[in-house]
């Protein structure tokens, strides 16, 4: 039954920027056996001392509802949005991708970077670091293409997301 299908959901959680809040959110996921596929956190409101946590998780509709309710009842949580089910949203992730190689390999890596609108942010005689921004699957594809050329290292930010439209 489609109702029991596990699907990916992105939650955006506005929290007090206090010590322990990230631990509490992460602990909720680990303590109840929910997945975390990606997690980002940063202060978004200096005066009000609010941080936003973006979590990509997956589960059946019942589990996704549970995750929302469990997050919502934490004392330090101000607002929980399910950006997958509440309406359209924009999702972005950034990766820094180190590729090593010489000659034709370097040319090929620049050519692919161009297609993906990736920027070179560091360069030596035998390496590039590319900065690539986009949806998770775009980054996955970029990294996959760099593997045979000389992929040496990857750092990814995890997903940040925001609802489309004028509503906040």
Partner 1 sequence: MSTKRFIGGEIIIKALIDQDVEVVFGYPGGVTLPLYDQIYKQNRLRHILVGHEQGGMHAAEGYARSTGKPGVVMATSGPGATNTVTGLVDALMDSIPLVCLTGQVTSNLIGNDAFQEADTTGITRSATKHNYLVKSTEDLARILHEAFYVATNGRPGPVLVDIPKDVLLGTGAYVGPEASEPRNYKPRLNPDAKAIEEAVDLLASAKRPIIYAGGGIVNSGPKASKLLTKLVRATGFPCTTTLMGLGTFPASDPLYIGMPGMHGTYEANLAMHDCDVMLNVGARFDDRVTGRTDAFAPGAKKIHIDIDPSSINKNIAVDVAVIGDAGKALDKIIGLWNKKKIKPDAKALKAWWRSIDKWRGIDCLAYDQDAKAAIMPQFALETLHKTLAGSDYYVTTDVGQHQMWSAQYLRFDEPNRWMTSGGLGTMGYGIPAAMGVQVAHPNSRVVCVTSEGSLMMNVQEMVTISKNNLPVKILSLNNNVLGMIRQWQELFHDNHESECDLSGGADFIKMAEAFGFTALSASRPDEAAGAIAEMLATPGPVFLNMAVARDENVFPMIPSGAAHNEIDLGPNKQLVSA
Q: How far is the CB of 63 from partner 1 (least distance, A)?
A: 10
For residue 50, what are its two tokens?
A: 């609010």
Q: How far is the CB of 20 from partner 1 (least distance, A)?
A: 6
Q: Which is nearer to partner 1, 73 or 102 (CB)?
A: 73
Q: Which is nearer to partner 1, 62 or 107 (CB)?
A: 62
* Contact assessment for residue 81 and residue 89, using Cβ atoms and an 8 Å cutoff: no
Q: Which bin fits 67, alpha (ψ -120 to 50), beta or left (φ > 0)?
A: alpha
Q: Which residues are CB-neighbours of 86 under 8 A, at least 6 positions away?
A: 163
Q: How far is the CB of 3 from partner 1 (least distance, A)?
A: 10
Q: How far is the CB of 167 from partner 1 (least distance, A)?
A: 20
- The DSSP call for residue 115 is H
Q: Which is nearer to partner 1, 50 or 149 (CB)?
A: 50
Q: Which is nearer to partner 1, 66 or 105 (CB)?
A: 66
For residue 46, what are its two tokens?
A: 């200096």
Residues engaged in binding partner 1 (CB under 8 A): 16, 19-20, 23-24, 27, 31, 62, 65-66, 69-70, 72-78
For residue 57, what are its two tokens?
A: 């998780």
* Contact assessment for residue 42 and residue 53, using Cβ atoms and an 8 Å cutoff: no
């Amino acid at each position: 039954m489609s109702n029991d299908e596990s699907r990916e959901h992105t939650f955006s959680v506005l929290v007090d920027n206090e010590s322990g809040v990230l631990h509490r959110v992460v602990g909720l996921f680990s303590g109840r056996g929910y997945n975390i596929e990606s997690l980002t956190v940063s202060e978004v409101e200096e005066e009000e001392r609010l941080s936003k946590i973006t979590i990509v998780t997956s589960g059946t509709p019942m589990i996704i509802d549970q995750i929302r309710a469990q997050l919502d009842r934490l004392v330090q949580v101000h607002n929980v949005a399910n950006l997958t089910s509440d309406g359209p949203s924009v999702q972005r992730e950034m990766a820094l991708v180190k590729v090593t190689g010489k000659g034709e390999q370097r040319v090929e890596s620049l050519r692919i970077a161009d297609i993906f609108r990736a920027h070179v942010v560091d360069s030596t005689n035998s390496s590039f670091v590319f900065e690539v921004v986009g949806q998770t699957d775009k980054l996955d594809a970029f990294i996959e293409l760099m593997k045979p050329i000389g992929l040496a290292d990857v750092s990814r930010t995890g997903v940040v997301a925001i609802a489309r439209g004028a509503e906040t």
